[in-house]
Chain A
Amino acid sequence: MAILSINNLSKNYKTIRALDNVSFAVPPKTVFGILGPNGSGKTTLLGIIMDVIKATGGTYEWTGERLPAHDVRKKIGTLLETPNFYHYLSGEKNLKIAARIKRRGEADIEKVLKTVNLYERRTSKFSTYSLGMKQRLAIASALLGDPEILVFDEPTNGLDPAGIAEIRELIKELNRNGKTIIMASHILDEVEKVCTHVAIIQKGVLKTVGSVNELMNTAASNNNTSFLIEISAADNRELKNILMQINGVVSVTEGENELQIICTENITGEYINRYCFEKGMVLNKLNVKQKSLETRFLEITGKQSDK
């Protein structure tokens, strides 16, 4: 049973159709990415399910919860768009307010501040925080009360590379502990690295939805040329001749110091390695690259931003 079911959600801003009959379901214990270019309607969608934006049409349901919508929200950790806190209060006092609203008690505050490395600055005013620290505080706030469901809108916004890696690891860790995470992002690499499932939205229209693996496999079956392999040996010219004999290798292109071969999905790196070795060719490089989500995303959405 899905954690969240979205049925034909639509939202108009005057003449602009920000969301157009979007429907999907979020399976439990997944990291569900909502991926789309800037302005595609990701934040609008999350805003609707958090009741800060009113839908023009359609419904959503947090399945399995028989509580009023606002009481369901108390059990969800959410970071929506930008960190929203009282600028004249310290990080710690801001978390106290959030904890009281969530009726979670204040016992967690120290733990979540430590999780996001903000404990040392807990008494500083929010207005003195850097963008990255504000983002960390928002993530800390979402973690209050150890919620089973987390909703993150662009969670790595404003973080430095180390911070980005930490937060991605944190999301994966939360998922390993059985949490469901719904995450909007325009960063393909992030979705590819973190998410198990993805919904791709463009100009308010749901383009595709499914598990990341399914999406990749769809790409494979559509094109039948899903793998790119970078390969080299001492004699690349001879290597090319050998590779051309393999059934399933579609093309071999000579690069500067390597060959790039595109092959059908039934070919594996191990097979190529063994084949070459049996032909007396020892490889010094073999890099199997899966068709990336980026390629798939661009196939689906085109190459232009929605802004």
Chain B
Amino acid sequence: MIDLLKIEWLKIKSYTGFILLASFFALGVVASNLIVFVFKREVIDKVKGSQLLFSGSPFDFDMVWKTVSYYSSFFLMLPALLLVILMSNEFTFKTHRQNVIDGWSRFEFLKVKIGMALVFALGSTIVVILTALVFGATSGSSFSVSGIENIGYFFLKAITYNMVAILISLLTKRSGVAIAVFFIYTIFENGISLLLFFLAIKLKKDSQLDFGNLGNYLPMNASDGLLTSPFEQFSGITKSFLPSDFNWIVLAFALVYLILFYVWSKRKMLTSDL
């Protein structure tokens, strides 16, 4: 696998798209958290009575893991987009065929792309960990690993997005179409997820049936649902109306979806004409 990844690195290390999107991601993660950090300190903290709602900063340990993971996760579109572009480029320029002709098995081609998905997810997570450590240290609180599971949720979301990117690229094989499908599907699923969320509230209210947030059982929202806003305590008053958080079930859904993405991608790669 390391050998395959080294070859993949030869392909992308001088690709402008890679350098740009990777930089945008790192910049986005730092900037978005900085905006929230400054906004909290300069605006929210100066509103009378805000201390009653927020005790401490969302950038204090333990909260910093949750805060940074949550805000950074909005930028996970970028590594996924990069993967879509890299995969689609292979299909557009037929280099995937050349790789196979030169001696990779079809599975090796898929394996290295999944390897890249993992490396990108790992890279994104490292950026988030470093950002969280810096913000945590600046907030003046003492270091704690409590809440660090949010970093795991971030990693899971990153993998999910990247695997969806691979699957869509394999199914569409064209750069423009793949990018459009990726964004349209994300928006579509979020819309459906919201409707299911309202349905879950209605079920709980009318029939006392609590299945959790049904919206979180969809492919991309499963990993998304585990990351929640640090300002969620605002909704504390209305919490009793909301469906419960069945995190283990959502996690199980997220993992099952990942397996399905893998199986579908493998089937497509191994059986179709390249």
A interface residues with partner B (beta carbon < 8 Å): 47, 50-54, 68-71, 73-75, 78, 80-82, 84-89, 93, 96-98, 100-103, 141
Determine whether the beta carbon of B97 is less than 8 Å from that of A73: no
B73-101 vs A, Cβ < 8 Å mask (1 yes, 0 no): 00000000000000001000111011111
Question: What CA separation (Å) do A171 and B84 show in the bound complex?
Answer: 39
Known contacts A80-B97, A84-B94, A101-B7; A73 and B106 CB within 8 A of each other: no
Is B274 engaged at the interface, CB distance under 8 Å to the other chain? yes
Docked complex Cα distance between A171 and B14 (Å): 34
Structural contact, A84 and B272, CB atoms closer than 8 A: no
Set of chain A residues within 8 Å of B103, measured between Cβ atoms: 70-71, 73-75, 101-103
Q: How far, in angstroms, from A141 to B272 measured CA to CA in the complex?
A: 25
Question: Contact: B97 with A52, CB < 8 Å?
Answer: yes
Contact status of A101 and B272, CB under 8 A, knowing A84-B98, A85-B93: no
Can you list 6 A-B pairs with a CB-CB distance of less than 8 A?
A50-B100, A52-B97, A73-B102, A84-B97, A86-B93, A89-B14
Interface of B is mostly: helix
B39 contacts the other chain (CB 8 A): no
Alpha-carbon separation in the docked complex, A69 to B99 (Å): 14
B15 engages A88 (CB within 8 Å): yes
Q: CB distance A54 to B272 under 8 Å?
A: yes
Bound complex: CA of A179 vs CA of B271, how far in Å? Answer: 32
**Chain B interface bracket (under 10, 10 to 19, 20 to 34, 35 or more):** 20 to 34
User: Given A53-B273, A82-B94, 10 other A-B contacts at CB below 8 A?
Assistant: A52-B97, A68-B105, A73-B101, A74-B103, A75-B103, A88-B14, A100-B3, A100-B10, A101-B7, A101-B103
Q: Is the CB of A53 within 8 A of B274?
A: yes
Task: Chain A residues near B16: list those with CB within 8 A.
Answer: 88
- Name the residue on A nearest B15 (C-beta): A88
A85 is contacted by which of B14, B98, B106, B274 (Cβ under 8 Å)?
B98
**A98 x B272 contact (CB < 8 A):** no
CB-CB < 8 A to B14: which residues of A? 88-89, 93
| Closest partner residue, chain B, to A48 (CB atom) | B273
Q: Contacts of A84 on B, CB cut-off 8 Å?
A: 93-95, 97-98
Name the B residues within 8 Å of A71 (CB-CB): 103
Chain A nearest CB, measured from B234 CB (Å)? 47
**Residue in A closest to B274 when the chains form the complex, CB atoms:** A52
With CB as the reference atom, state the residue of chain B lying closest to A74.
B103
Q: How far is the CA of A69 from the CA of B108 in the complex (A)?
A: 13
Specify which chain A residues have a CB less than 8 angstroms from the CB of B102 in the assembled complex.
73-74, 78, 98, 101-102, 141
Q: Does B11 count as interface, using CB distance less than 8 angstroms? A: yes
